[in-house]
Amino acid sequence: MIDYRKYIVIDKERRFGAPIISGTRISVSDVLNWLANGMSVNDIIEDFPELSKEEINACLSFAAQRESRTRVAS
């Protein structure tokens, strides 16, 4: 599994503390929504060339690990 901590940061001064891709204002939620709405990784990179496949995969890893922690806490 990819280590999302290399790519995802949480900074309360940017995007109201939402998890974002380091060096951008693109949130994990943005990427997940694009994927959920049918965009492919290549589509996203075409529209946002500052992103890499690794960063997009880091968003998925972040969401998966957060979901895993949520289920354990329930």
Q: What φ, ψ does residue 62 adopt, rounded to 5°? A: -60, -50
Could you tell me if 8 and 62 are in contact, meaning their C-beta atoms sit under 8 angstroms apart?
Answer: yes
Could you tell me if 19 and 30 are in contact, meaning their C-beta atoms sit under 8 angstroms apart?
Answer: no
Q: With 90 as the cut, is the pLDDT of residue 40 above it?
A: yes
Q: With 80 as the cut, is the pLDDT of residue 74 above it?
A: no
Of residues 66 and 73, which shows the higher confidence score?
Answer: 66
Q: How far apart are CA 27 and CA 13, in angstroms?
A: 13
Q: Which domains does the chain have, with CATH numbers?
A: 4-73 (1.10.10.10)
Q: With 80 as the cut, is the pLDDT of residue 1 above it?
A: no
| Share above pLDDT 70 across residues of the chain, in percent, rounded to a whole number | 92
Q: How confident is the model at residue 41 (pLDDT cuts 50, 70, 90)?
A: very high
pLDDT digits (tens, 9 = 90+) for 53-67: 999 999 999 999 988
